Amino acid sequence: MSKLRVGIVSANWGALAHLPAWRTLSDSVEVTAICTSRQETAEKAAADFGVARPFWSYEAMANDPDIDIIDAGTNPVLREKIVTAALNGGKHAVNQIPFATSGEAALRLDALRVAKGLQGAAAASVMGLPHIGLMKEMIDGGDIGEVFQVHCSWQMSFFLQIQPGFPYTWFGKSGLGVSVTRNNGSHMLHALRHLFGPINSVSAQIKTQLKEWHLPDGEVQKAETDDTGHALLNFASGAMGMLSTSWTAADSPGFSIEAFGTKGRLKLSSLAYPSIASAKLYASRNETPHHVPQGAEIDVPERFFLADGRPVALGQEDLFNGGQRVSLARVFESLVKSIKGQGEPLPGFARAAEVQALVDALYESDRTKAWVDTAHLAG
């Protein structure tokens, strides 16, 4: 098969993080187009990032016969329209996280994908983290035995003290499909669902604790989205889980997943945004009784760092994308393989719809102050 041709909608995160990840797969794909909302910005982005074809209409990109995959950026409300147009235009699609504005909207996107006979992936970069790949292999292989407890936390200080030039103050605006539960929570739920299986029920508390954001220019912005969420999770396996996240957490201690089993413990820890630059994986086994933690860092084999069959390490291009290139390249490669009939995307649209429905269940639980059954969501 010749190289798949990719069009990216976004000159921000799409160009800074997704474009380098796609270019890591240089044997399989070629990014041939970039789209923004105006001709002048599209042409500038194409020139700045070395992309051949500028577009300033996502509808035109969706209907172009010389594009195979559309990678949709922007906010979730607009992305639903972009991905719908892409699928109707016969294009495979990459959608961001949050995947959609609701579980119903996510199901519509997946149903359209199925009807069109296409493939789609959610850009849940945590899923492509090599350390998650090794954790999955070890858990499925029984290294820590039956899992009893799972703790997952993602604590960031993005909006506690907003830095000059930070482009995501729109995350505080209601009606755009974003919030800490929808953003961070979706990434966390993708990882937990992948590692530990279906989630049967949830109980959540969600709040907006920081009522005002003080912007660098002196403007005060009212916070209209939640910034902190805690949840209890019951897995179908019988494991008990806890999830906590905030983007107004002092000191930004970062991301972690810890699993306790009958034979041992695994802990993934990553300062700031989880990436190969910061992630560390620790493991211990219950071989002898002890009361002092015995966890030691373990190396992740090179095979989890491959893209297009070659090992990938951090490079100069990773200075501006949180070190996400390797993780995203692994997600994108899973889509490319699925288009060629080799397995499912990691994660695909069906799993993304399930996770979006789990997010909806967290909000329902917070609203009703009750446990919400989610066993029916698992595909």
CB of 165 closer than 8 Å to CB of 195: no
Confidence (pLDDT) at 323: 80
Q: Is the pLDDT of residue 271 over 90?
A: no
CATH superfamily for domain 126-300+345-349+355-368: Dihydrodipicolinate Reductase; domain 2 (3.30.360.10)
Mean pLDDT of 17-34: 95
pLDDT tens-digit readout, 2-17: 899 999 999 888 888 9
Sign of the CA dihedral running 366, 372, 377, 378: positive
Confidence (pLDDT) at 186: 97
- Phi and psi at residue 299, in whole multiples of 5°? -80, 140
Q: Is the pLDDT of residue 160 over 70?
A: yes
Confidence (pLDDT) at 195: 98
pLDDT tens-digit readout, 108-140: 999 999 999 999 999 999 999 999 999 999 999
Q: Is the pLDDT of residue 290 over 70?
A: no
Q: Is the pLDDT of residue 182 over 70?
A: yes
Out of 10-24, 44-58, 199-213, 312-326, least confident range: 312-326
What residue segments make up the domains of the chain, in order of their start? 126-300+345-349+355-368
Q: What is the mean pLDDT of the chain?
A: 94
Confidence (pLDDT) at 287: 72
Mean pLDDT of 335-343: 96
Alpha carbon distances (Å) from 157 to 215, 228, 252, 277, 366: 14, 11, 5, 19, 23
Q: Is the pLDDT of residue 1 over 70?
A: no
